[in-house]
Amino acid sequence: MLIRTALGFANHLLAGEAWARARLQPFAGQGVRLVCGPIIADLSIRPDGALAVADASSAPAVELILPPEALWQSGGNREALISAARLNGAADLAETIGFVLRHLRWDIEDDLAPIFGDVAARRLAKGASRFLAWHRRQTLAFSQNVIEYFSLEKPLIVPRAEFGAFARDVAQITDAAERLGRRIDTLATRRNS
């Protein structure tokens, strides 16, 4: 159900962008496997450049792997999400898929305009954009406050600077202990000779 919904949304985006379908058309019939943790979807490129669910018997030409943690680590940042993805397989198809993913955009106003009208669609889209930006800022501020609380108020997390200083101190002590051990070995060798 989730895969079919995502596939329908992807085809909706492709339907509005002739350039994206034109880039995918030369690869008609080739398969693409999408992997995100336990979710695996085998798709194929149709002759019109849209996507369809692939036959179970066909082997994918390209595998797009998205680590599950990238979905929440990206914080809704499209570029961060795309950079976390890995493409394996046929180089020309992988490059084309990467290009389409980087440049395909959803114009939500075009989808809302027939329902609410142009002005209302524009206002809804801007309001949603402002809400998402506010949500990102609040999430970032909250996470920074949690980090500050657990590193300063209730020290459960060591601040990065303190950890770096501690690591340097340990390295210096380790180096000094090794030098001392070599010195002791040298003195013991001289005494026994």
Q: Looking at residues 106-115, what average pLDDT do you find? A: 82
Q: What is the pLDDT of residue 75?
A: 62
Give me the half-sphere count of Cα atoms (radius 13 Å) on the Cβ side of residue 101.
Answer: 19
Q: Best-predicted range by mean pLDDT among 4-18, 102-116, 141-155, 173-187?
A: 173-187
Task: Supply the pLDDT for residue 74.
Answer: 67
For the chain, the average pLDDT equals 86
CB-based burial, 68-107: b 16+ in 10 Å, e otherwise: eebeeebeeeeeebeebbebebbeebbebbeebbeebeee
pLDDT given for residue 156 in this prediction:
74
pLDDT at 180: 94
The domain segmentation of the chain, as residue ranges, is: 2-103, 108-157, 158-193
pTM tops 0.75, yes or no: no
Q: For the segment 29-63, what is each residue's pLDDT rounded down to a tens digit?
A: 889 998 888 888 889 999 999 998 888 777 888 99
pLDDT at 1: 65
At the topology level of CATH, where does 2-103 sit?
Nonspecific Lipid-transfer Protein; Chain A (3.30.1050)
